[in-house]
Chains A and B, each alone.
Chain A
């Protein structure tokens, strides 16, 4: 076990609200680790505590073996952080900003190299105020990379980006992992978590309720395939328990979701059942289970409001 981040019994309260509730986990070198959960779950607070932006009420955090509570200066040299909204001075040029941040660290990469890596070379002399949303996100990422950090923290890195820009960011993240960096990202986009992360911690109300590789999270809950159906006669879930091979049934408003490891026999059984009982299936679809299903199963809530 080559843990670059160790978090043990971490707790943070804001008045009566327990934002982070006895959270413990470890992150291994070279993995892309995701914290997934709805807004307010405590993901950003947890990450801020690891970065040293906030102080915990109890528990400890070690980054590369250094205790964050008394070695924060050494920790800052080793990490890079991309905040959800990074604003800089309007009238600073991109190249100047990267040089400025580079100067804060003991070792830093040349600005031209970072600009090249993030496709910002032609914007080196542009003012920050002239950048588009996607370019600002890349600049924020560039600033997180100036010191060639061991660990990169990305807070909602693709929020507000169009699909193409989002995929560009994912490519950059994968390239960084290939270079041996450890990446910790927070997101509420299930697709992002599934596609990018080696392991995901699902957070809700300040606690980690599941932690595993995306595939395993789905498999452990016996959720592999999901058959979604909407009926016009509105029958109860008990009715569908008669079907063989159905491992779990969840209800989301007027949709019923039947989970199974084998979709075909369930579908056949479903058609037979509906024919025999005058069931009117309005919509029926089959898909692979996703983390949204896992979240719904574990918390009874939707990941996205």
Chain B
């Protein structure tokens, strides 16, 4: 436990020292919500403030920067630089190392979410009208699901230099085609089945239904298997293809 705590403390310090990661994880989503908040301050879509619709989308986007982009680039770097190799010569257990990273990233997601929700509610009239606990539970499932995508990417991407661009492609695809900003019924018809496959779409739908329509567990249930499916599939990929060197 002591090792886990000191590992996490150090990773947190390192995270604060990486300006680029800090930008994408905190500055960028905050910038987006402030920007959109001002652009659509007086707007409504179907009777609710637009920002209320966009807030879950920005939360999901922020979550993906942490769980997909940060994770994939960070883990590939650690492997290719030989950091994992050096660590494997110490008594540090692999579960402790990866477990600490997963917990750290989840805590980052919680911080991102809290920050975005606070700004949305305080300045732009957003609200989470539904069950906060359910919102948090779905958020957590989403985070774990996206983390598995991040680790699967880390297992499949061999080159340190291509880790950032490739994970950004995945990020943007899941963001734009997953309805973070544009509702998918605004997309061309041939794209819609593709969008339906993305976990981000179902996460966005579920979070919006809880926040805006006060949906309960039974209402959002149909989207959950997609998140679980991605979680299972990517975990299998990650375990099968991951190399420590």
With A92-B10, A96-B13, A100-B10 as contacts: A87 and B81 at CB distance below 8 Å: yes
Contact in complex: A53, B81 (CB < 8 Å): no
Q: Determine if B2 and A87 form an interchain contact, defined as CB atoms under 8 angstroms apart.
A: no
**Least distance between A49 CB and chain B CB atoms (Å):** 13
* B residues near A105, Cβ cutoff 8 Å: 90-91
Q: Is A179 an interface residue (CB 8 A)?
A: no
Contact among B2, B14, B85 for A89, CB-based, below 8 A:
B14
Q: Which residue of B lies closest to A106 (CB)?
A: B91
Among A35-43, A73-81, A166-174, A186-194, the one that faces the other chain is A73-81
A91: chain B residues within 8 A (beta carbon) = 14, 17-18
Q: Does A4 contact B (CB under 8 A)?
A: no
> What 0/1 pattern do residues 1 to 37 of B give for CB contact below 8 A with A?
0110011001001100110000000000000000000
Asked if B92 is at the interface of the complex by the 8 Å CB criterion, the answer is: yes
Q: What are 19 A-B pairs with beta-carbon distances under 8 A?
A: A53-B85, A76-B89, A76-B91, A77-B91, A85-B82, A86-B86, A87-B83, A87-B86, A88-B83, A88-B86, A89-B83, A96-B10, A99-B6, A100-B7, A103-B2, A103-B3, A104-B3, A104-B91, A105-B90
B140 in the interface, Cβ–Cβ < 8 Å? no
Does B88 sit at the interface, judged by CB under 8 A?
yes
Nearest to A89 among chain B residues (CB) is: B14
* Known A-B contacts A73-B91, A81-B89; A100 and B82 likewise in contact (beta carbons under 8 Å): no
Judge whether B85 and A100 touch: CB under 8 Å: no
Work out how many contacts link A and B, with CB atoms closer than 8 A.
51
Query: Do A104 and B81 touch (CB < 8 A)?
Result: no
Nearest Cβ on chain B to A127's Cβ, whole angstroms? 8
**A229: interface (CB < 8 Å):** no
Could you tell me the distance between the alpha carbons of A143 and B86 in the complex, rounded to whole angstroms? 10
Task: Point out residues on B near A: beta carbons under 8 Å.
Answer: 2-3, 6-7, 10, 13-14, 17-18, 81-83, 85-86, 88-92
- Which of B2, B7, B18, B85 touches A83 (beta carbons < 8 Å)? B85
- The reply on A51 being an interface residue by CB < 8 A is yes
A101 part of interface (Cβ distance < 8 Å): yes
Given the known inter-chain contacts A92-B10, A92-B14, A96-B13, please indicate yes or no for A76 contacting B82, CB distance below 8 A.
Answer: no
Q: Given A83-B85, A87-B81, A91-B18, check contact A104 B10 (CB 8 Å).
A: no
Contact A101 B90 (CB under 8 A): yes
**Residues of A with C-beta under 8 A to B17:** 91
What residues on A are CB-neighbors of B2 within 8 Å? Answer: 103
* Bound complex: CA A77 to CA B18 (Å): 32
A76 to B2, CA, bound (A): 18
Known interface pairs A73-B91, A76-B91, A105-B91; A83-B13 also in contact (CB < 8 Å): no
Q: Which residue of B lies closest to A76 (CB)?
A: B91
The answer on a CB contact under 8 Å between B89 and A87 is: no
In the assembly, what is the distance between CA of A165 and CA of B18, in Å?
32
A88 to B10, CA, bound (A): 13
- Expressed in whole angstroms, the Cα–Cα distance for A79 and B10 within the complex equals 24
B7 to chain A, nearest CB (A): 8
Q: With A and B bound together, what is the CA distance between A101 and B89 in angstroms? A: 11
Nearest chain B residue, comparing its CB with the CB of A146: B90
Residues of B close to A89: CB separation below 8 A: 14, 83
| List of B residues within 8 angstroms of A103 by Cβ | 2-3, 6-7
Closest B residue to A74 by beta carbon equals B91
Kindly state the separation between the CA atoms of A85 and B92 in the bound complex, as whole angstroms.
Answer: 20
B2 — nearest CB in chain A belongs to which residue? A103
A79 — which chain B residues lie within 8 A by C-beta?
Answer: 89
Query: In the complex the two chains form, what is the Cα distance from A88 to B77 in whole Å?
Result: 10
Q: B225: shortest Cβ distance to chain A, in Å? A: 38
Residue of B nearest to A85 (CB): B82
Residues of chain A with a CB closer than 8 A to B82's CB: 83, 85-87
Residues of chain B with a CB closer than 8 A to A87's CB: 81-83, 86
- Chain B residue with minimal CB distance to A103? B6
Identity of the chain B residue whose Cβ is nearest the Cβ of A91 in the assembled complex:
B17
CA distance A87 to B83 in the complex (A): 6
Chain A residues, Cβ within 8 Å of B89: 51-53, 76, 79, 81, 83
- CB of B12, distance to nearest CB on chain A (Å): 12
**What mask results when residues 101 to 119 of chain A are scored 1 for a CB within 8 Å of chain B, else 0?**
1011110000000000000
Residues of A within 8 A of B18 (CB): 91
